[in-house]
């Protein structure tokens, strides 16, 4: 962003909002009065369309009872597949490669149980030491189920700075002992984007299956999973996709693997026309639907119907463009207004490496987050001294970014944070 004399003024922020072609989507969301919500990378806000789609599905249950599975505006029996088709553009997958199902960790267990096939000396799983704990727990569990000691068979690439990963270090760790690789698309703390295309190419050169956790990237950056030939991916839909707390997740399986039996089979793994034959021999679906397990959580998937309508209209490339502008503007303001207060920006500065949120550190981070909340700003604290700030393209404004930094400056100047304990809450 070019520097002008007025770049740090509120008038400049308002001017940016006036030229924002996504500004009209803000009215689609429920936004609390006198509040600035900067935690959409943890839980996205409710949209009016998502609310409507929930009410519509409740109405179909009310009016149709069990016939809602095959009748009504969104028949439940086919809903996961239909939403997978609509979600596919957000991950750059083909419609048959994507299914809306399960939760992040359940889908990870499903995919690892399917694609982790240790043979000979190829028995180890490669991950990283910055990934979200749930992914590591699942990998450890899968190794134990196969009879391997996670201490020896789970290899975690080390970060050199505690915040980011070097692709060269990951590639160096792709030894002949690695059977499967799991990495985040965007690191949940620092917001670093990994070069998924390069890593997939390097893994396949070595005959290694590779998959990605897209929880912090879907809905915030474009993907091209099919073109990159990634083997699998999985994600939650309640962050940038605004699918509701604990909402149903999603997964992607490359077309070259379709037709493979799922590692964890269930009734909804079945081919649709065979499911009600009630045979004790599974005929798996020929698309990503084969990697479903149990009955879809219809009411929990409902918000995604409305949310995906908004994403289709806004366009992920437009969302990404504004997201980069918002985070860059916030970084510029932080560096200008808060330079004397010992904040350190730990997210990547480069556009091509920065996801949809910022990550700053301060020794009083827990206190500062509580002080921000007391002023109506919702950040995200990460133990021990991290603050994540996510100005979301669909509902945050440049003026909100400006106001947030000014309020943070006041908190620091007046030491308002000192009235709070510098420790995390039970949920952080």
CB proximity list for 85: less than 8 A, separation 6 or greater: 95, 98
Q: Is 235 annotated as a binding residue?
A: no
> Helix (H, G, I), strand (E, B), or coil: what is residue 75?
coil
Say yes or no to pLDDT of 32 above 90. Answer: yes
Say yes or no to pLDDT of 408 above 50. Answer: yes
Q: Is 135 annotated as a binding residue?
A: yes
β-strand partners of 101: none
Say yes or no to pLDDT of 428 above 80. Answer: no
Given this model, what pLDDT does residue 4 score?
52
Mean pLDDT of 395-402: 98
pLDDT tier at 282, thresholds 50, 70, 90: very high
Nearest to residue 402, comparing CAs of 319, 320, 329, 321?
Answer: 329
37 and 376 in contact (C-beta within 8 Å)?
no
**Residue 271 burial (CB count, 10 A):** 15
Identify whether 275 is preceded by a cis peptide bond (ω within 30 of 0).
no
- Distance between CA 220 and CA 222 in Å, rounded? 7
pTM: 0.96
Say yes or no to pLDDT of 236 above 80. Answer: yes
221 and 355 in contact (C-beta within 8 Å)?
yes
pLDDT tier at 423, thresholds 50, 70, 90: confident
Q: Is 283 annotated as a binding residue?
A: no
Strands 344-345 and 358-361: antiparallel
pLDDT tier at 153, thresholds 50, 70, 90: very high
306 and 49 in contact (C-beta within 8 Å)?
yes
Tell me the fold of 10-30+315-418.
3.90.1150
pLDDT tier at 426, thresholds 50, 70, 90: confident
Mark out the alpha helices in 182-247 (DSSP H runs).
Answer: 196-205, 225-228
**Residue 367 burial (CB count, 10 A):** 21
Q: Where are the domains of the chain?
A: 10-30+315-418, 51-313
In the chain, what percentage of residues exceed pLDDT 90?
97
Q: Is 238 annotated as a binding residue?
A: yes
Given this model, what pLDDT does residue 394 score?
98
pLDDT tier at 427, thresholds 50, 70, 90: confident
Q: Is 114 annotated as a binding residue?
A: no
338 and 408 in contact (C-beta within 8 Å)?
yes
Q: Is 357 annotated as a binding residue?
A: no
- Distance between CA 111 and CA 257 in Å, rounded? 11
Tell me the two tokens of residue 190. 């620092």
Say yes or no to pLDDT of 92 above 60. Answer: yes
- Residue 191's φ and ψ, nearest 5 degrees, are 75, 10
Give 3-state DSSP helix, strand, coil % of the chain, rounded to 5: 45, 15, 40
Give the pLDDT confidence of 283-342 residue by residue, as tens digits.
Answer: 999 999 999 999 999 999 999 999 999 999 999 999 999 999 999 999 999 999 999 999
pLDDT tier at 1, thresholds 50, 70, 90: very low
- Distance between CA 367 and CA 172 in Å, rounded? 40
- Distance between CA 201 and CA 174 in Å, rounded? 12
Q: How many residues does the chain have?
A: 428
> Helix (H, G, I), strand (E, B), or coil: what is residue 295?
coil
Given this model, what pLDDT does residue 176 score?
98
CATH number of the 51-313 domain: 3.40.640.10
Q: Is 348 annotated as a binding residue?
A: no
CA 370 to chain centre: 25
Q: Is 216 annotated as a binding residue?
A: yes
279 and 265 in contact (C-beta within 8 Å)?
no
**CA–CA distance from 410 to each of 35, 40, 341, 370, 376 (Å)?**
16, 24, 11, 14, 13
Strands 250-253 and 232-235: antiparallel
Q: Which helix (H) or strand (E) holds 62?
A: helix 48-64
Give the pLDDT confidence of 249-261 residue by residue, as tens digits.
Answer: 999 999 999 999 9
Say yes or no to pLDDT of 68 above 70. Answer: yes
Mean pLDDT of 4-17: 89
Q: Any idea what the Cα angle at residue 8 is, between residues 7 and 12, rounded to 5°?
A: 55
Q: Is 213 annotated as a binding residue?
A: yes
Mean of all residue pLDDT scores within the chain: 97
Helix axes 104-115, 133-145, angle to 10 degrees: 40
- Residue 90's φ and ψ, nearest 5 degrees, are -70, -20
């Amino acid at each position: 962003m070019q520097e002008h004399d007025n770049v740090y003024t509120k008038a400049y922020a308002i001017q940016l909002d006036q030229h924002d072609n996504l500004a009209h989507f803000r009215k689609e969301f429920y936004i609390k009065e006198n509040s600035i919500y900067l935690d959409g990378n943890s839980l996205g806000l409710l949209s009016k369309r998502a609310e409507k789609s929930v009410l519509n599905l409740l109405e179909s249950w009310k009016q149709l009872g069990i016939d809602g599975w095959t009748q009504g505006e969104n028949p439940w029996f086919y809903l996961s597949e239909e939403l997978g088709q609509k979600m596919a553009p957000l991950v750059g997958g083909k419609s048959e490669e994507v299914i809306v199902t399960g939760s992040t960790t359940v889908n990870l267990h499903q995919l690892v149980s399917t694609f982790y096939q240790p043979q000979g000396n190829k028995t180890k799983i490669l991950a990283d030491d910055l990934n979200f704990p749930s992914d590591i727990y699942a990998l450890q569990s899968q190794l134990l189920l196969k009879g391997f000691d996670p201490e020896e068979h789970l290899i975690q690439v080390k970060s050199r700075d505690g915040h980011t990963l070097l692709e060269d270090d990951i590639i160096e760790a792709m030894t002949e002992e690695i059977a499967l690789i799991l990495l985040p698309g965007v690191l949940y703390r620092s917001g670093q984007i990994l070069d998924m295309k390069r890593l997939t190419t390097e893994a396949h050169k070595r005959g290694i299956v590779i998959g990605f956790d897209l929880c912090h990237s879907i809905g915030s950056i474009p993907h091209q999973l099919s073109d990159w030939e990634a083997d699998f991916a999985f994600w939650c839909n309640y962050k940038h996709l605004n699918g509701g707390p604990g909402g149903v997740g999603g997964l992607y399986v490359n077309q070259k693997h379709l037709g493979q039996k799922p590692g964890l089979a269930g009734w909804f793994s079945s081919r649709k026309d065979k499911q009600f034959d009630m045979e004790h021999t599974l005929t798996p679906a020929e698309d990503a639907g084969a990697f479903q397990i149990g009955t879809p959580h219809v009411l929990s998937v409902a918000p995604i119907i409305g949310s995906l309508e908004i994403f289709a209209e806004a366009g992920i490339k437009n969302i990404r463009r504004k997201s980069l502008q918002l985070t860059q503007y916030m970084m510029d303001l932080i560096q200008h207004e808060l330079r004397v207060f010992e904040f350190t920006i730990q997210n990547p500065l480069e556009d091509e490496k920065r996801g949809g949120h910022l990550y700053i550190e301060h020794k009083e981070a827990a206190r500062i987050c509580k002080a921000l909340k007391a002023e109506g700003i919702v950040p995200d604290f990460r133990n021990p001294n991290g603050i994540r700030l996510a100005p979301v393209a669909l509902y945050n404004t440049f003026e909100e970014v400006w106001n947030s930094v000014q309020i943070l400056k006041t908190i620091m100047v007046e030491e308002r944070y000192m009235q709070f304990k510098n420790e995390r809450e039970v949920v952080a």
